[in-house]
Structure 1
Amino acid sequence: MATRLSFFFIVIFFANAILAQKDSPSKIYLKHYFDMYVPIQKDMWQFSISVAKEDKSEVVEKRRHDLLETLNRYKSIVGVSPNFENDSSLRLAVHTWITTSEDLFKKGYNQIILKKPMAKNSVESMIDYLNSKEQWSTKLEQANENLDNAAEAFANKYSLRIVEEDTRIGVRIKRINEAFRYYDKIYINFFQAYIHEARFNQAVNTQNYDTVKLELDLLKKVTETCLNNVLAIDNFNNDPFLKYAAINILNSYITTSDSYGKQVLEFYKVQSDFNEIKAVVSSKKREDLTPDEISQYNSLVKKRNSLAPAFNENTQLFNHSRKVELREWNLAVEEFISKNAL
């Protein structure tokens, strides 16, 4: 069972503004640009919710295409809009914001999407993927801030007062942003432990004592670090649900290393010793074997046979448990996203 990848998320929400003064040329001019935010914001919401729900790729692309068309349409409008009394500051700021957004949702988004399939292959790839998302979001946040500052400067210059009002869509997009940013902080700690647990499981299949011991030690060390990281993260809006889900699965990985892992090491150590003495026995004629060699061989056969039933049974239990635990984690993620972002 593959764990669900971290979501791509949108970091943008507009505080739509109304002007407290009576109509004036400067108010009408500023409102002309504020009115553009509504359809743009709507398309951003449709796109972000489609990504969050992990809709089919063609659905997501349709939403992105609609958003890019909307941005392009308003970029054209801004491009031919007049300055206000020879003051081009606001118009150019809006044009820059739309151009930046267009570039981020086109080229920037494509670069992130290309990294997503590779992200699940290693911790390094996942960190690169999450960092790329964060950098993308930071650029968009900076573009939003620049636009807000330009609007505020325009209002101050022409003695206007902006009264901010969060729209319903704006609030929801803000909530998505907060939920996914929190999810990513939890997720990367889960993912690091998950990767090492998978490597331990692969090592078990090699039946090589040294390989198993190496991966088991790494699993415990990494998981304990990740658990401490998660414990240090605050609950999400006083909701501990996702944090507790991560703590549960990380604790299960530690339990694996402390119980099943030790049993695996014991069995494979006996198996390794048996293979060594078996090679010695096979290389000699029976009459050339020493009493110690015969005794060691018989002892290891007996010990291996006594450990095998419990080892095989616990291996089946381990494989079943890891599927159940991963399913429970994924369900917890689904519930968290559904509750806080959709």
Structure 2
Amino acid sequence: MGRKPSDSEQTRWASMALLLIGLASCSVAYMFLSGVLRPANNSSVLKIESLDFDGSGGELSECCRGIENLELWGAAVKWGTEFKFNSSEGCCKACKAMCSGNDGPCLCDTWVFCGNREACGSKFGECWLKKQKDALTPDQQEAGNKVMWTSGVIFGKGQGIIGLETGYGTLHIKLLPECAPRSVAYILELLSLRHCAGCHFYRAESRGQSWDSEGNHIKDASFGPPFALIQGTLEAQGSTFNKIHTEVCPTIRRGSVALVGSGPEFFISLAKHTEWEKSYTVFGTVLPEDMVIAEKIAQLPTKPDVWNHINVSVLEKPVPLWFRRIERVMKI
């Protein structure tokens, strides 16, 4: 049989119960207020499964381009006076080799090469490998026709991912500077503007009956219309757009982000378009888990139109878009 607690014991247990209730109440209040009052943060933490994905189908290894007449600065990890190559491609690949590990940051994210024998003189062949404080805003030393250097940027696994914001969700895009350095440089300019007024999607076409859910073309089906893409413009109001020369490397695959001609028109492909071969500049690729957002935009109400004798589907209401930084990336 249990013993009836004395008055002093009752008082002690009552005090402890009140203390525990008070602590629990404080914890609940803290969690509520921290959720309500947490300051907005434009630099999100991205949790994704496909950090290693580049969407090039192995073709990215063929790409190793830079921008001529450009010298990028940064802390040197290999001194060019003691590290020389016969081509900019060799210099680029040397940097890429230092950024191929499965873990940790890239040891090299910038390469600078002197390839003009006449202008470089004794510096001909010098390959400077460097490390930026911020690879999305590389430190530029000098640019112009008088600059004898060629420079390029490398993004490793989990790096070079930016957010393309729409009202239907954020499309996370892995940039491909080795394939399209000038196009990527323009995207980074838009990123630094912190706005993209005037940028929007205006055309949307589903996969129809020609491609399956993986983007594979169905045997004997037509190649469109519809053409399995969403198309828009990246010309920001208030800024001057300079045409970008075609930079081709990967073929168009599901998720490819490419310029049309010299820009600023661009599209995101919903399917593999091997029939287009390498007609467009692929400067990035949408991470697979975000393609559901692109598919959602492709299903929005459209109206028919004709462009150069080709039937297309134009969005009844354009979808505004803008870019933002992704500061930290976590793999799940």
- Structures share a fold, TM > 0.5? no
Please give the TM-score of this superposition, normalised by the length of structure 2. 0.23
Higher strand proportion (structure 1 or 2): 2
